[in-house]
Homo-oligomer: A and B are copies of this chain.
Amino acid sequence: MSKKVVLLPGDGIGAEVVREAEKIIAHLSDHYGIGIETETHLVGGASLDAHDIPVKDEVVEACKSADAVLLGAVGGPKWDDYPSDKRPEKALLRLRKDLGLFNNLRPVTVFSSLKDASPLRPEVVDGVDLLVVRELTGGLYFGEPKEITEVNGEETGVDTMRYSVTEIERITRAAFDAARKRRGKVTSVDKANILATSQLWRKTVTRIAAEYPDVELEHMLVDNCAMQLIRNPSGFDVILTENMFGDILSDEAAMLTGSIGMLPSASLGDGTGMYEPVHGSAPDIAGKDIANPLATLASVALMFRFSLGHEKAASDIEEAISAVLNAGYNCKDMSRHARHVLSTSEMGDKILSVI
C-alpha cells in the first residue's frame, strides 16, 4: 500500500527547505515500510518563469490524485509587478480552492528553550500552545464581485465577504474536533457587531457547539482578539475564525514565538491535504543554505499525522525537533538563541540522525 506525495518547492528558500523534507520523508518511508513515492512540480514564480502561468492544470491534477502535497513557499520581488492573474500567490489560491482545503490549521507553540526569542516578556509567552483554525476557501478571498469598476464616473474597488451556513458548519466542526484532542476550548473570533457574515457565523458556531458539550465555547470580537493575543496568549486553546481574520491573527500569533521560521501549517479538506511552513519565500536569503527547515519538517510531521495516517512517524519528527532545540541547535535566524548554529542541510541531517 504505497503513498504518493507531491512536492512543490516553489520559490526562494522553498527548494532548500523542501530538499531537507525529502530526506526525512525518504528515511521514514523506508524505516516504517510506508512506500512513499514523491514527485516534484513547479508552482508560483518558478512556474510563471517556465510556463507563464502560476500553476499548470496538470500540476493541480497531480495534487488531487496524491495522498498529500508539501509546499515550500511562493513569491518574490521578481514577480511583484506581474498583473494580478499572473502572481505567484494565485497558485496557492487555486490549490486551496481546487483541492477544497477549507480547513487551515496553524499551531503556535512556544518552545520553553526559545521563550527568550519572543518580543514579548518570557512570562507572558511561556507555555503558549494554541491552534488557529482558519477557514481557507471562503470570505473576502473568493467572494464575487471582486473588481475595480467605474461607478458614477470614478474608479471603485469592491470585494465581497460571503459565507454560507454549510461553510461555517464544516470549519466549526473541524475546530471543535481539534479542541477535543487538545484542552477543550474554542474561541470563535468574528466582528458580529458590524458584519452580517459574522452574525451568521456566531449563530452557526453556537448551534454546532451544542454537539460538543465537552468543549467550552467563547465568542470574541476580532479587535479584542488582536489585543488578547498580546495581553494573555496562554488564555487561548483553539482560535476559530474566517479567512481574512485568520490571515491576520495567525501571523500575529506566529510572531509571539519570535521564530516564525519554525511554524508549520496544514490545509485540509475532503481530499488531499496540503502542508507548508508559515514563513514566506525569503528571497534575500535564498540559495545560501541558511534558511531554517524546521517549519517545513514540522509540516511533514503534520502530513504523516493527517494525510498518511502514520502518527508514529509524525511524533518521531516532532520529538526530534524538540530534542535538537533543547540541545541548543538552531539555524542562523535563531542564532541569538542557539549554542550551535547549523546550515539548512546540517539541520536536516541533524534531525535525521536523531530520528
A residues near B (Cβ < 8 Å) are: 84, 87, 89, 93, 119-121, 124, 140-141, 143, 146-148, 151, 154-166, 191, 193-201, 222-224, 226-227, 229-232, 244-245, 247-252, 254-256, 258, 260
Contact = CB atoms under 8 A, between A and B. Distances in A.
Contact of A248 (B197, B248, B250): B248
Contacts of A201: 157
A179 B41 CA distance: 46
A267 to B, nearest CB: 16
10 contacts: A87-B193, A93-B194, A119-B121, A140-B194, A157-B198, A158-B161, A158-B197, A160-B160, A230-B256, A252-B252
A196 B248 contact: no
B166 A154 contact: yes
B165 A156 contact: yes
Nearest to A192: B84
Contacts of A248: 222-223, 226, 245, 248
Nearest to A164: B156
Nearest to A124: B119
Given A199-B157, A252-B226, A89 B121 contact: no
Contact of A146 (B120, B196, B229, B245): B196
A251 B224 contact: yes
A193 B86 CA distance: 11
Number of copies of this kind of chain in the complex: 2
A241 to B, nearest CB: 11
Contact of A147 (B121, B124, B141, B196): B196
A55 B7 CA distance: 58
A251 B231 contact: no
A157 B200 contact: yes
B200 A141 contact: no
A54 to B, nearest CB: 12
Nearest to A123: B119
Contacts of A159: 160-162, 195-197
Contact of A154 (B87, B119, B164, B198): B164
A223 B248 CA distance: 4
Given A226-B226, A229-B252, A230-B255, 14 more contacts: A119-B124, A119-B231, A120-B230, A141-B194, A151-B164, A154-B166, A155-B165, A155-B200, A159-B160, A223-B247, A226-B249, A226-B251, A227-B251, A230-B256
Contacts of A227: 251-252, 254-255, 260
A333 to B, nearest CB: 12
A80 to B, nearest CB: 9
A227 B222 CA distance: 16
A155 B164 contact: yes
A255 B148 CA distance: 35
